[in-house]
Amino acid sequence: MRRADFTALPTAPRAASSLAIVALGLVGIVGSGGGIAFLPSDCPPGMDCNAAATPVPLVQPARVTAQVGTSVTFSVTGLNVPASQTTYQWARSSDGGVHYVDIAGATTDTLVLGSVNLADDATTFRLTASANGASGIAFAHLAVSAGPGLVFADGEFPVAQWLAAPLAAASAAAPTHSEERVATGGRPGAYRTMTFQLAPEAAMGGVAYTSVADGYDPATQGAVAFIDYSEDGISLDTQSSVATQSAMLLEQAGRKYIALPPDAFPRLATTWQVSQNTPTLRAPDFAVLDGPPCQAGGSCPDFSSSGAPMRFGYWRLSTGLRGAAIAHGIDNWRVTVWRR
Amino acid sequence: MNCQREQPLRGVDLKHRLRDRRFGEAIAVGECKRAALLVFVGCVSLSVGVLVYLADRVASHAALIPSIDALGGLHLFGALGQWLPSFVHPLAFSLFTAAVLKRGAAAYGGACAFWAAVDVAFEVGQHPALAATWTAALHGELGEWAIARATLRYFLLGTFDPYDVCAAMLGALLAGAALLFFDYSQGGRHASS
């Protein structure tokens, strides 16, 4: 009978056996539960093991804009401890989060504001979730406008409606670019694709897109209180070395601004997703992307009634290997201007 | 693989012996025994870890470990039971991995370092400072995948313990030392690759 020669065991079975052991080991770790919290036998002397069970609540929406007289609801959408063990307390702040006052009776996982008014504008709500002697907090921001928002939207993307301006990033040359309206496959229906050809020495490239269909003139249409922005985006490249980010674009008085999201610029996924959903953008939430620097003491951008006319759009920044061609798409571009 | 017959080796030139089919068979038998021994020791170690969950902890909290009433609450390990599972896991899996790898300090070191890193990473992942990250991930795209969800729940519900980190590293170190000792003790009988 032929014997197996272990010393000459081919690489493939060795690799397969190793992988199987690794898989078993990982399953063993996760399946062990990791020393589930609250077990006295797993709590080392001198440590407060309950601290590991700190509730981490998530509140949706984290930011919302509403018109006077409408209802707003904030809800807890995530918590890492059982809801049955958790108590809640909502509080509100009218001074930007410096001081909070508990809202009487607001002790459930949902806060309903029946009819908001201008006094509720710029209010921050804080939820405190408590369980097992520990607490976690989450915040929600409310903006209130006297009148309805003025909506600029494009879900069809006629080619003639958009201007493109490639921008040099850092010391690298601007990319070449091409755009196309695709009739189907969007979210739903038509959408727009963009392909950036990075310069040979550049690992990133950005293009500013401006809608020329409409604009907003604060002098005739009123001072801007804040702006909501949303869009759906998709990365049409599957290589992990490629990333595309997006932001709202605002043009005013020869300057291009991008809206800074509350956290990092999200990276487009390879399936359609809401790539930007940033409500209640105020003037300080924008940063100059291109154009003359802002004068000291100047309003950049100027949301007041003396501000210059504005146009809106979006900005895309792609990063990848030098000279790479990077494709991505956009649909349901939407800007809502709320007036004072 | 037939592990029944082991050929006696005598001191003749190694190059000639390696060409000898009988010598190859002898090495095969030796490797087989070595692998079986490593797996056996690993299983014994792992059993001790499972026993901690059965006797000292609420076993039902570990998804893969059933509860056995006869053992529940025995508290066999006392204070040691707090860190024993973290110790035996890298120990056992380093031995299992070494059992399928070629002999050699590099392979042993790699296996032990890998399991030490894995166990330490999974322990550090339970640190409360990372809870917000895991919670956000759980409610994002990752949360739609069962494996990712289980892993994130492990991080969120597990208890971070710096002593577990030490135990994991010690377990891997002991495995490495045991493997080298085992090879050393077999050195007179088998060629090391």
pLDDT confidence of residue A240: 65
Element (H, E) at A274: strand A273-281
What average pLDDT does chain B have? 76
**Interface ipTM above 0.85:** no
Residue of A nearest to B139 (CA): A78
Please compute the mean of the pLDDT values over residues B1-18 and round it to a whole number: 45
Partner B contacted by A171 (CB < 8 A): no
Query: Closest approach of chain B CAs to the CA of A165, in angstroms?
Result: 33
Rounded CA gap, A301 and A306, in Å?
11
- A43 and B82 within 8 Å at the Cβ level: the answer is yes
Per residue, the 3-state secondary structure of A35-48, as one string, reads CECCCHHHCCCCCC
CB atoms within 10 A of CB B38: 23
Enumerate residues 26 to 85 of chain A having a beta carbon within 8 A of any beta carbon in chain B.
26-37, 39, 41-45, 47, 49, 51-54, 56, 58, 77-80
Close Cβ partners of A335 (under 8 Å, ≥ 6 residues apart)? A151, A152, A153, A227, A228, A229, A248, A312
Does A134 contact B at CB distance below 8 Å?
no
Q: Which residues of A touch B25 (CB under 8 A)?
A: 3, 5
For residue A52, which residues of chain B lie inside 8 Å, CB to CB?
A: 126, 128, 131, 158-160
Residue A34: which of B25, B31, B154 has the nearest Cβ? B154
**What token pair was written down for A84?**
């049955």
Write the DSSP symbol of residue B53.
H
* pLDDT tens per residue, range A193-222: 999 988 888 888 899 999 988 789 999 998
A269 → chain B, closest CA residue: B141
Count each helix (H run) and each strand (E run) in chain A, helices first.
2, 20
> Quick one: pLDDT band at residue A4, thresholds 50, 70, 90?
very low
Q: Is A18 on the interface with B (CB under 8 A)?
A: yes
The 10s digit of each residue's pLDDT in A42-51 is 433 343 444 4
Mean pLDDT of all residues in B54-78: 66
Tokens of A318: 């792609």
Give chain A's mean pLDDT: 83
Q: What is the pTM of this model?
A: 0.51
Distance between CA atoms of residues A14 and A20, nearest Å: 10
Task: Kindly identify which residue of chain A lies nearest to residue B122, measuring between CA atoms.
Answer: A29
Span A58-74, average pLDDT: 89
A4 vs A210, higher pLDDT: A210
A58–B93 C-beta distance less than 8 A: no
Instruction: Verify whether the Cβ–Cβ distance B102 to A7 is below 8 Å.
Output: yes
Q: Which of B28, B118, B126 sits opposite A4 (nearest CB)?
A: B28
Chain A residues with CB-CB distance to B2 below 8 A? 1, 3
Strand residues in B12-88 grouped as ranges (E): none
**Residue A178 parent element (H or E):** strand A176-182
Whether residues A39 and B159 touch (CB distance < 8 A) is answered with yes
Q: How far is the CA of A275 from the CAs of A208, A271, A330, A332, B115, in angstroms?
A: 16, 10, 9, 10, 38
CA distance B79 to A264: 44
- Beta-strand relationship, A123-131 and A134-145: antiparallel
Q: Cβ contacts (< 8 Å) between A269 and chain B: which residues?
A: 141
The alpha carbon of residue B126 is apart from the nearest alpha carbon of chain A, in Å, by 8
Q: How many helices (H) and strands (E) does chain B have?
A: 7, 0
* pLDDT-derived band at A260, boundaries 50, 70, 90: confident
Q: Is residue A53 predicted with pLDDT exceeding 70?
A: no
Closest CA to A218 of A100, A281, A308: A308
Percent of chain A with pLDDT over 70: 87
Cβ atoms of B10 and B174 closer than 8 Å: no
The pLDDT, as a whole number, for residue A133 is: 74
H/E element, B181? helix B162-186
pLDDT at A10: 61
- If you average pLDDT over residues A140-156, what whole number do you get? 87
Q: What is the mean pLDDT of residues A4-21?
A: 68
Q: Which of B131, B157, B161 sits opposite A44 (nearest CB)?
A: B161
Q: Do A43 and B159 touch (CB under 8 A)?
A: yes
Partner-chain contact A29 B56, CB within 8 Å: no
Q: At what angle do helices B84-100 and B21-55 cross, to 10 degrees?
A: 160
Question: Using CA atoms, how far apart are residues A92 and B79, in angstroms rounded to an integer?
Answer: 46
Chain A environment of B122 (Cβ under 8 Å) = 29-30, 34
Contact A80 B134 (CB under 8 A): yes
User: Chain B contact for A114, CB < 8 A?
Assistant: no
- State residue B133's pLDDT score: 77
Which one has a higher pLDDT value, A95 or B79?
A: A95
